[in-house]
Amino acid sequence: MRWFDEERNTKTVREFFTNPRTAGSEAPHVAKVLTRTDDVVIIRWGCPDSGFHAIYYTLFGNVLSVCGDFGGAVYQWSERITLPFLANCHIGYFAGKCEASPHGRGFLAWDVNACEAGLLEHCDDENYRESALRDIIRHIKESQGKLGVDHLTSQCIYPDDVDLGDGYDLEVAMPVFRAILQDAKASCGSSYEWGQFLGTTEASLLLGQDCWELGNIGMAIDGWCYAHLEGLKMVYDQLKGEDGEVDWGRSA
């Protein structure tokens, strides 16, 4: 889940760049070539009448440097890069070339929705889920319904004759499974808080005693990285000619 909800993120960024009201301007973003030599190309991607939400791209040899209102970052390849090449990159590959950003290499940040999706994916294995839910039922019976999170036991009633053998009903424990997941989503807003949650009783019940190994769940490519790449793609769309080559004369 390294690029959680790629389609949604891409659409959001593109709408932002093309909607003047969203960008706080009277006009959509346009590409303007500030410098172009044999060695360096500098391009401004922003509203023509405003400096808000502008991005500046510098292509120098095998390095792309980005700065502006969507954060700064440095991306590096093994060979010389061009605008058409960058515009055809996939977000996963592009982020993988990030050497420095506000979130470090790879431009990965913790996202609560990515965490939820990652947890569901992790718990999707039927054998794993049955084992985890058995532990939940057993713990609730042993603790007489006191799980440590007040709202959990109020959402479900466990009969005294719950069968913990091969024939027990998974639906008996599923409400707790869902409640623990929602508690994690509600209480975590960063990778640090997620790490803290992994040390709780609820997490160990849901994810097993080795849940600390799941510390990277929820790490996804940050939205600013999407803005960097989609800006490049839209710059290329504005500057390319009918043959697909960059027509530098199209610059604003």
- Per DSSP, the three-state class of 231 is helix
Q: Which two tokens stand for residue 94?
A: 């592009």
Q: Are residues 86 and 118 in the same domain?
A: no
Residue 84 is assigned to a structural domain of this protein: yes
Do residue 132 and residue 213 come from a single domain?
A: yes
195-237 pLDDT, tens digit each: 777 777 666 655 655 666 677 778 889 999 999 999 999 999 9
Q: Do 103 and 228 have their domain in common?
A: yes
Average pLDDT over residues 80-104: 96
Shared-domain flag, residues 151 and 233: no
Both 127 and 201 in one domain: the answer is yes
Same domain, 63 and 160: no
pLDDT in tens, 34-49: 999 999 999 999 988 8
Number of domains in the chain: 2
Q: 103 with 173, same domain?
A: no
Higher pLDDT, 177 or 241: 241
Please indicate, yes or no, whether residues 123 and 103 belong to a single structural domain of this protein. no
pTM of the model as a whole: 0.74
Could you tell me which residues come within 8 angstroms of residue 120 by beta carbon, excluding any fewer than 6 positions away? 181
Query: Do 66 and 116 sit in the same domain of this protein?
Result: no
Residue range of the domain that includes 33: 6-108+221-250
Q: How confident is the model at residue 149 (pLDDT cuts 50, 70, 90)?
A: very low
Is 1 among the domain residues? no
187 or 79, greater pLDDT: 79
Q: Is residue 34 part of a domain?
A: yes
173 shares a domain with 83: no
* Pair 11, 102 in one domain: yes
- Please report the pLDDT score of residue 87 as a whole number: 96
Q: Could you write out the DSSP letters of every residue in 35-100?
A: EE-SSEEEEEEE-TT--TT-EEEEEETTEEEEEETT--EEEE-SS---HHHHHT--HHHHHHTEEE
CA–CA separation, 21 and 35 (whole Å): 29
Asked if the model's pLDDT at residue 17 lies above 80, the reply is: yes
Instruction: Indicate if 39 and 88 belong to the same structural domain.
Output: yes
